[in-house]
Amino acid sequence: MKIVDAQVVVTSPGRNFVTLKITTDEGLTGLGDATLNGRELSVVSYLTDHVVPLLIGTDPHRIEDTWQYLYRGAYWRRGPVTMAAIAAVDVALWDIKAKAAGLPLYQLLGGASRERIRAYGHAAGRDIPELLDCVRARQAEGYRAIRVQTGVPGLTNVYGVRPDLSVSDQLPRPVVEDWDTPAYLRHLPRVLEAVRAEFGPGLPLLHDAHHRLTPIQAARLGKDVEPYDLFWLEDCTPAENQEALRLVRRHTTTPLAIGEVFNTVFDYQTLINEQLIDYVRSAVTHFGGVTPLRKLFDYAAQYQIKSAVHGPEDISPVGMAAALHLDLAIHNFGIQEYSGHTALTGEVFRHAYTFTDGYLHPGEAPGIGVELDEELAAAHPYRPAYLPVNRLADGSVHDW
């Protein structure tokens, strides 16, 4: 079997997605997600100009060899653009291999280690009453674990709370969000107290600090929220400085999750070796694919650290499906983020995975279980979009 074609498809059924479609001489096709939110076209160029020409004529079954060839052969290793491009190739090849075997991907990864995959959803509100209403709405949808985010008094636009702009409303520059760390640190414990008072101790609650704290601020927050028994505190401080988590860990027993902006195992070495975190958060799409993420989970398992794959709306159904097959197979699964997608996205990317009563399953279709409607995808072309930028009260960009 040989690869005879590889195409990069960019579509925007509500938001931008980048998909690689690989075709073999036996008519099998495989899909991979290459979406890099806010920098999508950089990965399109990387794939189209530098990777696709290397794939034509190669054996799609040689997944590990292809991965190493693309990672080591470029000389310039790592980074989100490179790893998203490699991830797309890797997932597409796994998709082809599983289709050739007539099996869902998880069977090639060792088979199921569980019957279903626990997911958590997002709840947010501009104030506490609105947040409580949103938690109720998520529970009504079936979620049994919920991430809570709320507005901060005195701030207008806050991460996780500001209503998403539709693509047609996107500004030519990033939206500016407000930030005030002392106000946030004062407010969040009150928010969690209110949520616990309303929903009791049994609901797993998660919170994302989104890299916005210094190590000592993160340590203080972790300690302050201990009475509310968080499932985890996510991205409490910019984790490029891995040593910073030593300080946080010394001061709190609140579980810590980190890694959605990480691209390789090297970003995790100190965090895992010293057991400074409890959950690894990388996405299949941004970590180079199924091949390296499975290795990361095996490494983390030696230190009783669990998986928690990043799964926001900007991970396409292709990336989500690949994650679910991995979730089902690994032993040290923790929880899966799941924000869902728009109905239109579901039409463009028809998928076999399901969400029922708070749990996900990848389905039994051969491969990863996703098919791309290319005609519908072409009807929704790329549109410029940006992630927000944060500024302090004095107008300066925050220095996280």
Burial (CB < 10 A; 0-12, 13-18, 19+), residue 176, is middle
Residue written as token pair 């008094």:
153
112 within 8 A of 310, measured Cβ to Cβ: no
Q: Within 10 A of 251 (CB to CB), how many other CB atoms are there?
A: 15
Query: Could you identify the residue written with the tokens 């005030």?
Result: 180
Assess whether 159 carries a catalytic annotation: yes
Give the distance from CA 296 to its chain's centroid: 15
For residues 360 and 332, give the distance between their C-alpha atoms in angstroms, rounded to a whole number.
16
Q: Which of 138, 149, 340, 133 is nearest to 234 (CA)?
A: 149
Bin 350: left if φ > 0, else alpha if -120 < ψ < 50, else beta: beta
Question: What is d(CA 187, CA 191) in angstroms, rounded to the nearest whole number?
Answer: 6
Catalytic residue among 71, 143, 159, 359: 159
Question: What gap in Å lies between CA 237 and CA 249, rounded to an integer?
Answer: 12
Q: Which two tokens stand for residue 65?
A: 């060899």
Question: Residues 89, 56: contact at Cβ < 8 Å?
Answer: no
Two tokens, residue 255: 């579980």
Residues listed for the chain? 400
148 membership: H or E segment, kind and range: strand 146-150
210 in catalytic set = yes
Neighbours of 220 (CB within 10 A): 16
Distances (CA, A) of 152 to 62, 140, 223, 268: 51, 26, 20, 31
CA distance 315 to 317: 7
- C-alpha of 200 from chain center: 28
Q: Which helix (H) or strand (E) holds 185?
A: helix 181-199
**Which one is catalytic: 122, 207, 210, 211?**
210
Q: What residues are annotated to the active site?
A: 159, 210
